[in-house]
Each structure stands twice: as C-alpha cells, then as structure tokens.
C-alpha cells in the first residue's frame, strides 16, 4: 500500500500478472452457466421418453432454473459485496457442480428439478454477479474493455453453441453428459480460483444482508418471472387452463380472471414495497440491499439498466424465433438446427474482439450504440429472407450484423454500467444488471412467443379456409391449429393430397409468424439503441473524484484508489 495525499492506495490492478488467468477462470464459469440451459433444450424429447413423463412437467426443469436464477441474483451480488466475491464465486461454482451431479444421475423429474432448477440455479445466481464484480475490480483502462468483450462473447457463444453440443451429446452419447460437463468444469474453476484469483478486498461486513429487503425482492422477482413464463399457458387475462398442484386444483379455468393477473398484482405490490423500504432505509443511514440513490447519481447505471432490459427483450428473438421456424417450417432436426445457428456464435466472437479494440479509438458508449444498431439491422435482414425454401447462405448477412452487434453492444454495455460503481457495490449492481436482463429476456420470450403463435394461427386458418379440403377435414384441422399453434401436424390418415396441402400451409404460416415476430424484435432493439443515447459518454461521480485525481497525479504508473475508501463506506 502507498499513500497519496493521506489516502491509502492499492497498486494498479493491471500490474498483476494473474489477471489474465483470472479472466480465463471467469469466462469458463460464465460459459457453463449460459451453456447449461441451451444444451438442455434439444435433449427434452429424449428425456421425455426416458422418464415416461409429460412436457408440462419437464418444462419446470427449465422454468425452475430461470426462476431460481432471477430470484437470487441481487442477493448473490450482495453476498459478494459482504463476504468477498472470490469466496462467493467458489461457493457458487461448488453448488453448480453439485447440482449438475444430482441432475446427471437423476431417475425422475423431481430429482432433475432438484439438481438443475434448484441447486444449479442457486449456484448460478452466486457465480454470475461475482464474475462481473471480479472483472470490474481486476481490470482498468484499455484492458477493461477487452476483458468485458471476452466475457460478453462467452455469453453469446454459449447460447449459440448450446444446441450443437446438446444435439451431439444427446444423439451420440447421452443427455446426461450435458450435466456431466459441468461436473468436470466446475472443480477446475474452483481450483483455478484458489490458485490464481487474487483475494481482493475483504467484504464490507458492516453492510449486512438486509433480510427484509432480500425477502421482498426475492418474492417479487419470483412471481414476476413466473407470471412472464407461464402467462401463455394459463392465460394473460382470461383463464386458459386450470392450475393444478399436487393433484389439487388451486385455480379453476372457470374463474373470472387468470391466476396470472393475481401473480402480477402481488409481484408489483412486493417490488413496490421493496423500493419504498430500501429508499427509507437509505435515508435513515442504514445499509439497504440496493441503494436506489445510485440510479440518481450514476446516469450510466440508470440508463444502462433500462437499455439492457429493452435490448434483452429483442436480442433473444433470433435465438428463440428462428429455431422454431427451422424445425417446424423447414423440418430440420434439433442437431441440424444447432449447426444452422452456429455461425452466430462465431460472429459474436469476432465482434467482441473488434469491439474491444474499437473502444480505444472511439470510446465505449459509441461501440455500444453501433452494436445495438447492427443487431437491429441483422434481425431485420433475417426477417426479410425467412421463407420455407430459405438457404443457410441467405441468413449469413443477417447473422453477421447480429453476431458482431452482440459482440459490440452486449458486453460493453455491462462495462458502461459498472464503470463508475464503487467496488463495495459492484456485486449487488452486477446482480441488478443480470436481473434486469433476465426480466427482459422472460418478457421478450413471452411477447415473441405470443406474436409468433398468433400470426401463425391467423395465417394458417386463413389458408386452410381457402384450401381445397373436404368440410370434415377442414373443421378438424382448424380445431387442431387453434389448439396446437406452431406444433400443429396433419392428423394420421390424412390423404396424400391433403397432406401436401397442409404441409405447405404449415410451412408458409410458420414463416409468416417468424417474420412478424422478428420485425417486432427489430423495433424493440432500435428502441433500446435510442435509449442508449441517454447514457453519458463520461460520468465520473463525486465518489470517484479521488480516483480520477490520482491517475492524473502519477502519469507514469497510474494508481488505483479504492472508491470505498473515499466515499466513507470502507
């Protein structure tokens, strides 16, 4: 430690030779978290057959993981601020590996839910905020942009490579290897963290956990994500189906309103109470779970979180809508679908590397804005070429803009959000950042899924009504289309003439639905790009003033002041 104007200063983090090993460990952990769910999607049909179960029950494996993850992210970040991010990272990785082990040897859906949805979900909620906080505290200056670029590329690549890896493992080995990968990788990440990751600063124990705030935000986020995930199943306003738990009907389909309306109302009440409680606690000089004053003093945080939430709604559309079209409209297998989506991951890697270098020339926020516009144009180009006889080559221009745009925008947006946050608060802010994106993704999937289904059904019913089918066949097919949506398939016994007609109807209808949803996603991403113009180019808040002064004071070997020592929280 050295002294500058009476203030204790740590040596610049960029002199630590272990920082690149730390980046490698963080990337490895982020990769398995993102990969986990995307790998599992393509294995669902195989698990259904092996467990002799139903799709609704198995969907709770994926939905439950998302619920646990989104519910605990802010709490996981706070635990890192209090007890140290390295320690919480290691605990999260251990839980993630344990949950993967339980899932890999499961013999029933409840056991799979326990391993994947609960234990893995908790582990991921501890790890992900810690990875961002560790990067934020380890890198400074030009290297910071490179580090966040690689972290962002990892997230995009994990989503793109997941179907390929999952399809390969499921087809040639077993779906259980989708979890066994984590059982192998998690201990490697733990050992790497113990050997190479700097201990960093001790957590600020006097902050506390803020149990009432934690309960409020966890309950509210759980219900919010639950409502967004299940609205399509149970109805957004009017009930579509009864809610049955443990064989007992807790909300009948004859009720005047859907249970989702009640879920959203309770979620809104809990989250509003959380905001009021946290702001009151902060005014009293307490230690709230999340300091809402940060949104006022840090415009980069305020507008960055809003941009990230909007972006997540539209950004996921290509990875959600296009596979539906490829499998239901072009009749590709899950493994073929994965290979068709693979180029997006390669373009994300390239975009992240280019974006990391560009920030040294034009600045981080400009790279983010260019990336968001590129993503919107990429989604639009894909929407314009979607049709039943689509070729992979025709998708490449859209893939290029979309993937490079993610490499530019997604990772560097996180860099912007965390750039001026005091180190004692990077964990909880990282958790809030990931939570905002999870909510945006859940909302985006719900909206895009509804638009895709509605447009597909509308187009299909119009074409079936005009097709040369017998009245009995037409009536039967229309009822199946309304019931099954994009999952519609001609019933057994359909004549060859009717089969060819219905196949053409299905292909063109799914293509129409996909185009409609992708155009809407383009508009959403463009709105996110416009909101990003509210993010200031530079915003050194008062708490970081000493840090800026120290860098100007010593030009030959910049020093890094811990903002916690300046703002009085350390």
Asked whether 443 and 424 are in contact (CB, 8 A), the reply is no
Scored b (16 or more CB within 10 A) or e, 87-116 reads bbbbbbbbbbbbbbbbbbebeebeebbbbb
The answer to whether 468 and 526 have CB atoms below 8 angstroms apart is no
Give the max Cα distance, the chain. 89
The whole-number pLDDT of residue 95 equals 95
Give the per-residue pLDDT at 519: 93
pLDDT band with cut points at 50, 70 and 90 for residue 92: very high
Q: What is the pLDDT of residue 41?
A: 67
Mean pLDDT over each residue of the chain, to the nearest integer: 79
pLDDT exceeds 90 at position 296: no
Name every residue whose Cβ is closer than 8 Å to that of residue 228 and which is 6 or more positions away in sequence.
439, 442, 443, 445, 446
Average pLDDT over residues 171-185: 85
Contact 386, 328 (CB under 8 A): no
* pLDDT value at residue 540: 40
66 pLDDT more than 70? yes
246: Cβ contacts below 8 Å, ≥ 6 apart: none
Q: What is the pLDDT of residue 492?
A: 64
pLDDT at 191: 93
pLDDT for 551 beyond 90: no
Q: CA neighbours within 13 Å on the CB side: how many for 76? A: 33
Top pLDDT among 107 and 41 is at: 107
CA distance 123 to 65: 10
Cβ neighbours of residue 497 closer than 8 Å, sequence gap 6 or more? none
- How far is 391 from 180, CA to CA, in rounded Å? 35
Q: 137 and 421 in contact (C-beta within 8 Å)?
A: no
How far is it, in rounded angstroms, from Cα 435 to Cα 290? Answer: 13
What is the structure's pLDDT at 446?
Answer: 79
The pLDDT-based confidence of 57 (bands split at 50, 70, 90) is low
Band (pLDDT 50/70/90 cuts) for residue 418 is confident
Query: What is the per-residue pLDDT across 298-348, written as a single tens digit (0 to 9) for each?
Result: 888 889 889 988 988 888 777 778 887 887 778 787 677 778 888 888 888
Return the top range by mean pLDDT from 172-181, 362-371, 396-405, 542-551: 396-405
Instruction: Look up residue 491 and give its DSSP letter.
Output: P
Euclidean distance between CA atoms 48 and 40, whole angstroms: 12
| Residue 390 pLDDT > 80 | yes
Long-range contacts made by residues 110-113, C-beta under 8 angstroms, separation at least 24?
A: 112/47, 112/51, 112/58, 112/61, 113/60, 113/61, 113/64
- Highest mean predicted confidence (pLDDT) among 172-181, 532-541, 553-562: 172-181
Contact 115, 102 (CB under 8 A): yes
Query: Could you give the CA distance from residue 388 to residue 394 in angstroms, rounded to a whole number?
Result: 12
How confident is the model over 223-277, as pLDDT tens digits? 888 888 788 778 888 888 888 776 788 888 888 899 999 999 999 999 999 999 9
SS3 of residue 542 by DSSP: helix
Distance CA 467, CA 499 (A): 12
DSSP 115: I
pLDDT for the residue numbered 15: 58
Is pTM beyond 0.85 here?
Answer: no
Instruction: Specify the pLDDT at position 265.
Output: 94
pLDDT band at 565 (very low <50, low <70, confident <90, very high): very low
pLDDT band with cut points at 50, 70 and 90 for residue 186: very high
**Per-residue pLDDT tens for 122-163?**
999 999 888 888 888 788 777 777 787 778 777 767 766 777
- Encode pLDDT of 28-46 as tens digits: 888 888 777 667 766 776 7
pLDDT at 447: 83
- Residue 120's pLDDT is 92
């Amino acid at each position: 430690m050295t002294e500058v104007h009476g203030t204790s200063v740590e040596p610049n983090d960029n002199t630590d030779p272990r920082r690149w090993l730390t980046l490698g460990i963080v990337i490895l952990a982020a990769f398995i978290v993102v990969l986990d769910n995307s790998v599992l999607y393509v294995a669902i049909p195989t698990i259904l057959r092996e467990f002799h179960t139903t799709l609704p029950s198995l969907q709770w494996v994926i939905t439950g993981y998302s619920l646990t993850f989104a519910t605990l992210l802010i709490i996981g970040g706070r635990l890192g601020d209090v007890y140290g991010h390295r320690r919480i990272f290691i605990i999260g990785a251990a839980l993630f590996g344990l949950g993967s082990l339980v899932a890999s040897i499961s013999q029933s859906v409840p056991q799979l839910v326990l391993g994947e949805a609960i234990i893995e979900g908790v582990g991921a909620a501890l790890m992900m905020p810690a990875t961002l906080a560790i990067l934020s505290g380890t890198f400074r200056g030009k290297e910071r942009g490179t580090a966040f670029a690689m972290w962002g590329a990892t997230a995009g690549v994990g989503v793109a490579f997941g179907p390929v890896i999952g399809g390969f493992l499921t087809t040639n080995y077993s779906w259980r290897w989708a979890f066994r990968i984590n059982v192998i990788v998690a201990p490697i990440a733990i050992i790497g963290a113990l050997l190479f990751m700097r201990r960093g600063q001790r957590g600020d124990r006097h902050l506390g956990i803020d149990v009432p705030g934690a309960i409020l935000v966890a309950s509210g986020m759980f219900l919010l994500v639950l409502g967004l995930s299940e609205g399509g199943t149970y109805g957004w306003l009017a009930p579509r189906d009864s809610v049955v738990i443990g064989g007992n009907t807790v909300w009948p389909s004859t009720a005047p309103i859907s249970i989702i309306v009640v879920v959203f109302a309770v979620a809104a009440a809990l989250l509003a109470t959380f905001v009021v409680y946290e702001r009151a606690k902060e005014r009293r000089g307490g230690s709230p779970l999340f300091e809402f004053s940060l949104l006022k003093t840090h415009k980069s945080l305020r507008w960055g979180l809003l941009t990230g939430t909007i972006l997540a709604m539209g950004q996921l559309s290509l990875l959600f809508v296009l596979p539906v079209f490829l499998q239901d409209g072009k009749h590709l297998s899950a493994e073929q679908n994965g290979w068709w989506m693979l180029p997006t991951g390669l373009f994300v890697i390239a975009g992240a590397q280019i974006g990391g270098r560009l920030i040294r020339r034009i600045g981080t926020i400009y790279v983010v804005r260019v990336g968001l516009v590129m993503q919107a144009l990429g989604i639009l180009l894909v929407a314009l070429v979607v049709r039943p006889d689509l070729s992979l080559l025709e998708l490449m221009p859209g893939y290029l803009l979309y993937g490079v745009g993610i490499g530019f925008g997604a990772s560097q947006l996180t860099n912007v959000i965390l750039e001026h946050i005091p180190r004692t608060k990077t964990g909880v802010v990282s958790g809030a950042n990931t939570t905002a994106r999870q909510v945006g993704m859940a909302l985006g999937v719900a909206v895009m899924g509804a638009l895709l289904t509605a447009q597909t059904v509308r187009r299909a019913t119009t074409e079936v009504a005009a097709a040369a089918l017998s009245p009995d066949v037409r009536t039967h097919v229309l009822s199946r289309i309304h019931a099954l949506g994009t999952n519609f398939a001609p019933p057994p016994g359909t004549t060859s003439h009717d089969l060819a007609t219905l196949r053409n109807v299905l292909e063109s209808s799914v293509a129409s639905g996909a185009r409609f949803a992708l155009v809407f996603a383009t508009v959403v991403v463009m709105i996110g790009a416009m909101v990003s113009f509210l993010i200031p180019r530079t915003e050194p808040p008062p708490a970081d003033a000493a840090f800026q002064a120290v860098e100007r004071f010593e030009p030959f070997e910049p020093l890094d002041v811990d903002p916690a020592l300046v703002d009085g929280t350390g």
